[in-house]
Structure 1
Amino acid sequence: MEAAMPDLPRKKVGIVACSGEEIAEGTVTRLAALRVLEQLRPGDTVTICLPLFLAGGEGDRAFARFYPTIAVDGCGERCAARATERYSGKPAAEVVVTELAAGCGLAGLHGRRRLNEAGQRAVDLTAGRVAELVDELLERKGWDRRRGSFEAEPPAEAPAAPVAATCSCGAGIPVQKVVIDGRTVTLIGLPLIFEQLREAGKAPSDHLARELLETVRIYNPIPADEDETYAMTLLREYAAFWGGKEPAR
């Protein structure tokens, strides 16, 4: 039986911008991302802080695993794209400033702190391209977390959101820490999964342990040789949730 998937907050697109400060193209990525977040697509995007993402920021990594992201890199090193793929999943789209500029015949980008005219033009081009990609991603029916691809049909229009840049840390994707075989593990979406099962009237049982495991596996990597340990831990945590008390540690 296929595991049911809990309802999640309204889909947005995460923007992961390069944090490099050694070249002008790094400045271009940050200014372009800010323009998309605050001016071009404020209600449809959130920022994902790359340094916090690399340091293990739970909110940023959780968002990037649930929703499509656009990596905006300054050069061919593709630090933002590689970090996203390593810690959450392959970005839904990528923009590389050096490639975009070269394709438009734009050269001579200078100014790490204050961009020259070519650099400002690169900001315009990059922001415009990112906004186009946001539109393409949100016109699809949905980001399939299992396949890493999109469904075909467009979604219903969502209500307008306030015009302000927002961070993925506040995107509303819940996580929960549990102790598994002596290790503290952060599981994405676990509170929503528990709520869905309780609303369905499914009481804790040995039979439910397998369903819990398969549902949690949709959003979290589980080592193949630890299925039994995870299943029993999840059942223990759910039993505590069902009974409205803290589980024994």
Structure 2
Amino acid sequence: MPELPRKKVGIVACSGEELAEGTVTRLAALKVLEQLRPADTVTICLPLFLAGGEGDRAFARFYPTVAIDGCDQRCAARATKLYSGKPAASVVVTDLIIEHGLGKPEGLRSLNPAGLQTVEVTALHVAGLVDSFLDKHWDRRRGEFIQEMPQPEAGQPVEATCSCVSGIPIQKVEINGKTVTLVALPLIFEQFRQDGKMPANGTLGELLETVRVYNAIPAAEEETYAAALLLAYLEFCKNKEAAA
């Protein structure tokens, strides 16, 4: 299999601004991204996601995503499911408020104490989900994660990383008259080329199955996908040879 970028968890927060709970989702997401789990998470911009941001949608298709919604309408979760796939977890702020017996958040730009407390509870809950998706375990005695990746030094400013620059390689391919975005295709082509598996009918079956690992391929369109992939791989190899 091709070596893909290190696994991270995408965080997509509700963009609603008419409820204080919407503000809670964004502040909680920011806390996870910049303070609690900066090395393990990336932000997914919901408006860009809805507008067709390819990087965000590709990330959500391949990596686990946590949707944080302010209310039970679950706009972030439903958008993720519609355009990429069911999120690995759906967090609803109003549910956490009831579960933890918290006060009602108030204030759209400046939250009241109950709102700030809800931010903390939500952020810690999401951080726990991130750890579970990455199989991380907390060492209570040492106060750190076991086999954790290097974290930014204390006091070092950290900015939330966007999924559109997270390194998920994608490529558009014309299939049956429509443009299809395939995740990891450039890396798959490069891996096949390095292994000496040149464009030919003999490698087509393996190529199709490898692409299927990262992308949904309709059974009724397998032959069409296979033909398009072979042409795209042939073009890839020609470009590599020309650049050599």
Q: 1:169 to 1:155 in 2, by over 3 A?
A: farther
1:159 equivalenced with 2:158 (yes/no): no
Query: Given residue 12 of structure 1, which amino acid in structure 2 is its aligned partner?
Result: K
For residues 126-156 of structure 1, what are the alpha-carbon distances to aligned partners after superposition, in whole Å with 9 as ceiling and x for unaligned? 1111112212222269xxxxxxxxxxxx995
For residues 66-107 of structure 1, what are the alpha-carbon distances to aligned partners after superposition, in whole Å with 9 as ceiling and x for unaligned? 211111111111111121122222222221100001111113
Question: TM-score w.r.t. structure 2 length?
Answer: 0.88
Structure 1 residue runs without a partner (length 5+): 142-153
1:27 equivalenced with 2:23 (yes/no): yes
Partner of 2:76: 80
**What secondary structure does 1:185 align onto?**
strand
For residues 178-231 of structure 1, what are the alpha-carbon distances to aligned partners after superposition, in whole Å with 9 as ceiling and x for unaligned? 222222221111101101101111011112122222221222222222211111
Answer whether contact 2:62 2:183 (CA < 8 A) is retained: no
Structure 2 residue runs without a partner (length 5+): 138-144
Distance 1:229 1:140 in 2: 41
Residue 60 of structure 1 and its aligned partner are, at CA, apart by 0.6
Distance 2:170 2:127 in 1: 29
Distance 2:25 2:136 in 1: 25
Query: Given residue 49 of structure 2, which amino acid in structure 1 is its aligned partner?
Result: F
Q: 2:170 aligns with which of 171, 175, 180?
A: 175
Partner of 2:87: 91
Count of matched residue pairs = 230
Distance 1:219 1:140 in 2: 24
1:8 equivalenced with 2:4 (yes/no): yes
Distance 2:21 2:105 in 1: 7
Question: TM-score w.r.t. structure 1 length?
Answer: 0.86
Answer whether contact 1:139 1:155 (CA < 8 A) is retained: no
**What secondary structure does 1:72 align onto?**
strand
Residue 158 of structure 1 and its aligned partner are, at CA, apart by 2.5
Partner of 1:198: 193
Distance 2:224 2:30 in 1: 44
Answer whether contact 1:176 1:188 (CA < 8 A) is retained: yes
Partner of 2:209: 214
Distance 2:194 2:89 in 1: 36
Distance 1:55 1:232 in 2: 30
Partner of 1:107: 103
Distance 2:240 2:130 in 1: 42
Partner of 2:140: none
Answer whether contact 1:71 1:80 (CA < 8 A) is retained: yes
Identity of aligned residues (%): 67
Query: Given residue 31 of structure 2, which amino acid in structure 1 is its aligned partner?
Result: R
Distance 1:90 1:38 in 2: 25
CA root-mean-square deviation: 2.1
